[in-house]
């Protein structure tokens, strides 16, 4: 019943979803039901009404029209064909009005139904209003002309109000329908746009899923609380490797530290770190137990919303087991070879010392020994560097050390060793700087920076050494006016075996280990080292070490004591 009512009240949303035939029948039904009501009323209270032939023909025509509505396949006919029904409705209405005469008044008002239908159809709006008006006029005038009585102004204007009322109703319905249709058009347009958006979003989702599952790295997106929002198949594989089944939390996975055995503390596991908003790259973790253990390099990046606030992170897991194995093999090889080289080299250096110390050496022998000695020193330095690199973290014994003194000594040594007369040294070190460091190791760093400054300044220039207390640390820098480096080269300058193409092309001796070792030494002290460089203008290498005492004065006093 609700449905019927809602259709009858022209609940357009549902009404438009019906078939055309159903809509035609429902549009005709109010008139047919009202006629039925009049017929029943007439049968009960005004029997003489049923004696009127015109009335009965009108009712019959109404029944025929309803049957036409039901039987005609409207959808196969041109769209506006159904308008013939409201047009024809005026005929039975006219007949019934004429037949009812004065027995039942107001039957002419039934014209309101076809008028509403015509106006609400939205088709040919002006013609529909005109037809409604003229047909209503026809209803009231036809009996005047057909009745045989004299046509007078009085008889013509007797029911003149009806067509105008119908016109007013038609206009009102037309205005309401137009506004409703406009609203409906807007809603339909929005509906279409929404549909397009939904399809687009479904397409993107399929694309994302395909891409995410076809890459060879594990992926996981987590919200701010660390709850997974998206994972891919590769990650499931890694999780299975670490004993993680189903939704097992990260804390239950077998994730180990570098030794492959000590469990990685929960707070240092990648998803947990990502959930805390940390951004990291190349964070190595050992997944699963031996012998199936894999090394994964993990990285995390923040996801932000349009307002720029964090709404989660994406964590990637990349299997680098082969790379790590190869690097370990390389380190082992370097360590073995340098060990093997060290023993014969020690013997060579020992005998060289003996030979160069011998009296009465012929000058050509002495100069030959000098060349051998210089080259064996270079070889020795290389072997020491290689061993030190293979060792990993250098051993240090930090004690309060007068860094100013150390810098002065090392600059003096560099000046002595310097073979390029176009290089000038300038030492602007503040006195009395005491750092907590291993003097021989930091000396090694200074030697390396100073010798690089000379080596990579083939055209000469000033090498300036500065040391001062900065932000509670000792800062020491070596600046040259040499070849400098490009921004690209600068990124790899502290990597093992790194050499700039300029250094290689100019055949400047070196293997690219000095800075990697210097970095390891400074970092072992809890310090930092960095480099600024401009190609063709020069470079500045700066390292910072912790101060031995809270303040310099305090330290000077304690030294004096
Ligand atoms: P080595 O000097 O033995 O090659 P290092 O580790 O000390 O090794 O330096 C690595 C590379 O960095 C050098 O080969 C050189 O290309 C570049 N480099 C280092 N210091 C400087 C500098 N002061 N100016 C320009 N390039 C430098």
Per-residue pLDDT of the chain (561 residues; tens, 9 = 90+): 456 555 555 555 567 778 899 999 999 999 999 999 999 998 898 888 888 899 999 999 999 999 999 999 999 999 889 999 999 999 999 999 988 887 788 889 999 999 999 999 888 989 999 999 999 999 988 888 877 677 777 777 777 888 999 999 999 999 998 998 899 899 999 999 999 999 999 999 999 999 999 999 999 999 988 889 999 999 999 999 998 877 788 888 999 998 889 999 999 999 999 999 999 999 999 999 988 899 999 999 999 988 888 889 999 999 999 999 998 888 888 888 888 888 899 999 999 999 988 888 899 999 999 999 989 988 898 888 888 887 777 888 999 999 999 999 999 999 998 989 999 999 999 999 999 999 999 999 999 999 999 999 999 999 999 999 999 899 999 999 999 999 999 999 999 889 999 899 888 888 899 999 999 999 999 999 999 999 999 999 999 999 987 554 444 444 444
Question: 417 and 489 share a domain?
Answer: yes
pLDDT of residue 2: 54
Counting atoms of ligand 1 from 1, which one is nearest the CA of 483? 25
Question: 50 and 183 share a domain?
Answer: yes
pTM of model > 0.75: no
From atom 21 of ligand 1, which residue's Cα is the shortest distance away?
A: 452
Instruction: Tell how strand 399-402 and strand 423-429 pair up.
Output: unpaired
Question: 62 and 176 share a domain?
Answer: yes
Counting atoms of ligand 1 from 1, which one is nearest the CA of 478? 23
Residue 139 CA to residue 149 CA, distance in Å, equals 16
Residue 533 CA to residue 492 CA, distance in Å, equals 12
How far away, in angstroms, is 452 Cα from ligand 1 center? 6
How far away, in angstroms, is 512 Cα from ligand 1 center? 6
The CB of 133 under 6 Å from ligand 1? The reply is no
96 found inside a domain: yes
212 found inside a domain: no
pLDDT of residue 66: 95
Residue 282 CA to residue 425 CA, distance in Å, equals 40
The enclosing domain of 332 has a CATH number of 1.10.287.130
The CB of 389 under 6 Å from ligand 1? The reply is no
Cβ burial, residue 501 (10 Å; 0-12/13-18/19+)? exposed
How far away, in angstroms, is 502 Cα from ligand 1 center? 10
Look up residue 437 and give its two tokens.
């460091």
211 found inside a domain: no
How far away, in angstroms, is 549 Cα from ligand 1 center? 33
How far away, in angstroms, is 503 Cα from ligand 1 center? 7
The CB of 456 under 6 Å from ligand 1? The reply is yes
How far away, in angstroms, is 473 Cα from ligand 1 center? 26
| Domain end call among 189, 210, 236 | 189
Residue 68 CA to residue 24 CA, distance in Å, equals 10
How far away, in angstroms, is 482 Cα from ligand 1 center? 11
Residue 169 CA to residue 557 CA, distance in Å, equals 108
The CB of 15 under 6 Å from ligand 1? The reply is no
How far away, in angstroms, is 386 Cα from ligand 1 center? 16
From atom 25 of ligand 1, which residue's Cα is the shortest distance away?
A: 484
How far away, in angstroms, is 400 Cα from ligand 1 center? 29
pLDDT of residue 4: 56
Tell me how many degrees the CA angle 164-167-169 measures, rounded to the nearest 5: 110
| Contact between residue 515 and residue 490 where contact means Cβ atoms under 8 Å apart | no
Question: 163 and 289 share a domain?
Answer: no
- Please give the C-alpha separations between residue 44 and each of 39, 41, 48, 434, in angstroms, as whole numbers: 9, 5, 10, 122
Counting atoms of ligand 1 from 1, which one is nearest the CA of 541? 23
In 3D space, the residue among 186, 70, 74 whose CA is nearest the CA of residue 121 turns out to be 74
The CB of 480 under 6 Å from ligand 1? The reply is yes
| Contact between residue 174 and residue 128 where contact means Cβ atoms under 8 Å apart | yes
157 found inside a domain: yes
The CB of 514 under 6 Å from ligand 1? The reply is yes
482 found inside a domain: yes
From atom 11 of ligand 1, which residue's Cα is the shortest distance away?
A: 499
How far away, in angstroms, is 536 Cα from ligand 1 center? 14
The CB of 452 under 6 Å from ligand 1? The reply is yes
The CB of 56 under 6 Å from ligand 1? The reply is no
Look up residue 533 and give its two tokens.
């460089």
Question: 258 and 360 share a domain?
Answer: no
pLDDT of residue 146: 76
Q: In what order do the strands lie in the sheet with 473-479?
A: 423-429, 461-470, 473-479, 538-546, 528-534
How far away, in angstroms, is 463 Cα from ligand 1 center? 15
How far away, in angstroms, is 487 Cα from ligand 1 center? 14
Counting atoms of ligand 1 from 1, which one is nearest the CA of 457? 24
Question: 381 and 404 share a domain?
Answer: no
| Contact between residue 484 and residue 507 where contact means Cβ atoms under 8 Å apart | no
Question: 433 and 385 share a domain?
Answer: no
Domain that holds residue 69: 2-189
Residue 137 CA to residue 154 CA, distance in Å, equals 15
203 found inside a domain: no
The enclosing domain of 461 has a CATH number of 3.30.565.10
Question: 149 and 281 share a domain?
Answer: no
| Domain end call among 297, 319, 341 | 319
Question: 405 and 266 share a domain?
Answer: no
Phi, psi (deg, nearest 5) at residue 551: -135, 155
| Contact between residue 255 and residue 287 where contact means Cβ atoms under 8 Å apart | yes
From atom 9 of ligand 1, which residue's Cα is the shortest distance away?
A: 512
From atom 8 of ligand 1, which residue's Cα is the shortest distance away?
A: 512
The CB of 517 under 6 Å from ligand 1? The reply is no
527 found inside a domain: yes
- Please give the C-alpha separations between residue 184 and each of 20, 171, 187, 189, 436, in angstroms, as whole numbers: 18, 20, 5, 8, 80
pLDDT of residue 8: 54
pLDDT of residue 7: 53
Residue 300 CA to residue 269 CA, distance in Å, equals 11
3-state secondary structure of 547: strand
The enclosing domain of 277 has a CATH number of 3.30.450.20
Question: 129 and 7 share a domain?
Answer: yes
196 found inside a domain: no
pLDDT of residue 10: 52
| Domain end call among 145, 169, 189 | 189
- The most distant pair of C-alpha atoms in the chain lies apart, rounded to whole Å, by 165
How far away, in angstroms, is 427 Cα from ligand 1 center? 21
Question: 385 and 411 share a domain?
Answer: no
pLDDT of residue 247: 79
Counting atoms of ligand 1 from 1, which one is nearest the CA of 484? 25
Question: 363 and 426 share a domain?
Answer: no
pLDDT of residue 559: 47
The CB of 372 under 6 Å from ligand 1? The reply is no
pLDDT of residue 361: 87
- Go through the chain and tell me how many residues it has: 561
Number of domains in the chain: 4
């Amino acid at each position: 019943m609700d449905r019927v009512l809602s259709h009858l009240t022209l609940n357009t949303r549902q009404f438009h979803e019906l078939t055309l035939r159903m809509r035609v029948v429902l549009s005709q039904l109010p008139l047919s039901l009202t006629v039925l009501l009049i017929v029943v009323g007439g049968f009960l209270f005004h029997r003489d009404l049923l004696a009127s032939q015109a009335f009965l023909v009108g009712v019959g025509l109404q029944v025929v029209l309803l049957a036409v509505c039901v039987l005609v396949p409207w959808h196969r006919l041109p769209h506006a064909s159904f308008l013939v029904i409201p047009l024809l409705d005026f005929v039975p209405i006219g007949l019934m009005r004429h037949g009812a005469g004065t027995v039942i008044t107001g039957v002419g008002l039934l014209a309101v139904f076809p008028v509403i239908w015509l106006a609400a159809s939205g088709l040919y709006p002006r013609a529909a209003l005109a037809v409604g008006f003229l047909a209503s006029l026809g209803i009231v005038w036809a009996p005047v002309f057909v009745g045989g009585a004299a046509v007078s102004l009085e008889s013509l204007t007797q029911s003149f109000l009806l067509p105008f009322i119908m016109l007013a109703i038609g206009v009102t319905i037309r205005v309401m329908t137009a506004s409703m249709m406009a609203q409906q058009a807007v809603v339909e347009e929005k509906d279409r746009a929404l549909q397009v958006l939904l399809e687009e979003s479904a397409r993107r989702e399929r694309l994302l899923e395909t891409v995410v599952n076809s890459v060879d790295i594990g992926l996981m997106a987590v919200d701010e609380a660390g709850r997974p929002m998206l994972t891919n198949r590769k990650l499931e594989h890694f999780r299975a490797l670490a004993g993680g089944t189903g939704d097992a939390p990260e804390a239950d996975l077998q994730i180990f530290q570098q030794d492959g055995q000590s469990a990685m503390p929960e707070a240092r596991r990648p998803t947990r770190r990502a959930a805390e908003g940390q951004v990291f790259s190349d964070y190595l973790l050992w997944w699963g137990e031996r012998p199936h253990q894999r090394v994964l390099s993990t990285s995390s990046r923040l996801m932000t919303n349009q307002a720029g606030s964090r709404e989660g992170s994406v964590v990637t897991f990349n299997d680098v087991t082969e790379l790590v194995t190869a690097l370990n093999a390389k380190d082992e090889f370097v360590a073995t070879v340098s060990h093997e080289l060290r023993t014969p080299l020690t013997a060579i250096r020992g005998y060289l010392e003996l030979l160069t110390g011998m009296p009465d050496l012929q000058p050509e022998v002495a100069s030959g020994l000098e060349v051998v000695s210089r080259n064996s020193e270079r070889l020795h330095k290389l072997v020491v560097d290689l061993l030190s690199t293979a060792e990993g973290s250098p051993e240090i014994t930090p004690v309060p050390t007068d860094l100013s003194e150390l810098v002065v000594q090392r600059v003096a040594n560099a000046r002595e060793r310097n073979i390029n007369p176009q290089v000038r040294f300038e030492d602007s070190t503040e006195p009395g700087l005491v750092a907590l460091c291993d003097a021989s190791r930091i000396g090694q760093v200074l030697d390396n920076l100073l010798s690089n400054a000379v080596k990579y300044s083939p055209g000469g220039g000033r090498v300036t050494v500065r040391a001062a207390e900065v932000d509670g640390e000792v800062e020491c820098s070596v600046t040259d006016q040499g070849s400098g480096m490009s921004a690209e080269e600068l990124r790899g300058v502290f990597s093992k075996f790194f050499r700039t193409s300029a250094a290689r092309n100019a055949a400047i001796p070196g293997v690219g280990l000095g800075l990697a070792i210097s970095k390891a030494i400074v970092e072992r002290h809890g310090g930092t080292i960095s480099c600024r460089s401009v190609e063709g203008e020069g470079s500045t290498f700066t390292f910072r070490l912790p101060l031995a005492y809270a303040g310099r004065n305090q330290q000077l006093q304690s030294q004096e004591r």
